[in-house]
Amino acid sequence: MRAHLSQHFLVVDEALKQGLTRVKSQVADVLICQGRLGELTQFRDAEFLNALANQIPEQLVLDQSSQIKLGFEILASFDLSYRGLIQHRIRQHLDDLTPDTTQLQLSASPSAQEVLSCLTSLHAEAVYRCRTALDDLLAEPSQAAFAIVEEFVDRILRSENSQTEWRIFLEDVRSDIWSEKFQQLGERSRTRRIWLEKVEQAANANQIELFRFLD
């Protein structure tokens, strides 16, 4: 009974991961839509964070590890699991289902009905205690997600040299982020170059005509 009951709690693991993935995706959406950083990679949602972390150099300021890279690495690698966050708190409420330590004792010659009644009572009590424990833990995954996002913001915006690091990094990738503007600039440069070539050709032609006239 204990093994059967504890197995059902394993689905909590997937729920925790889905919840954290949703938070990471929300952070990625802000960076992609408002920060224009989506131009740097084709990855989206939670995978975007890891992809961007891989693009940021280890050092942007001389002899100092990049804080903004660390921020992306911390958030991208952070995980929540049932085994790490909840399991040890649930297991203690299943102890009374251990055959050798249960508080309920059978009579010397128990009937099948007595065994069933005992097991039903133990099961109901265990389920109640586990439900109460989960209710008490209800806010913890959200609190953990909030804390890691705050740590991420501290690293990429509030840490020393973070603003300098962003300027250096964005300077290196500016043509990818603002590709339209650089394309327009390239078109203007090409038009200007053609114009100068035509002017030079016209000046050379006029100079030849002038020499002919003087001759």
Considering the domain boundaries, does residue 39 fall inside one? yes
Q: Note whether residue 122 is domain-resident.
A: no
Please give the average per-residue pLDDT across 24-52, as a whole number. Answer: 93
* 110: Cβ contacts below 8 Å, ≥ 6 apart: 118
Same domain membership, residue 191 and residue 167: no
Whole-number mean pLDDT of the chain? 86
Q: Which domain holds residue 198?
A: 179-215
Is residue 171 domain-shared with residue 183, that is, in the same domain?
no
Number of domains the chain is built from:
2
The verdict on 173 and 206 lying in the same domain is no
Residue 59 domain flag: yes
- For residue range 65-102, list pLDDT tens digits in order: 999 999 999 999 999 999 888 998 888 888 878 877 77
Residue range 110-119, pLDDT digits in tens: 899 988 998 8
Whether residues 8 and 75 fall in one domain? yes
Going 144 to 148 to 154 to 160, the CA torsion angle's sign is positive
| CA 134 from centre of chain | 25
Residues 59 and 80 in one domain: yes
pLDDT tens, position by position, 112-146: 998 899 889 889 999 999 999 989 888 999 999 99
Classify residue 86 as exposed, middle or buried by CB count within 10 Å of its CB (0-12, 13-18, 19+). Answer: buried
Q: Detail the DSSP E strand segments found in 57-168.
A: 59-61, 64-65
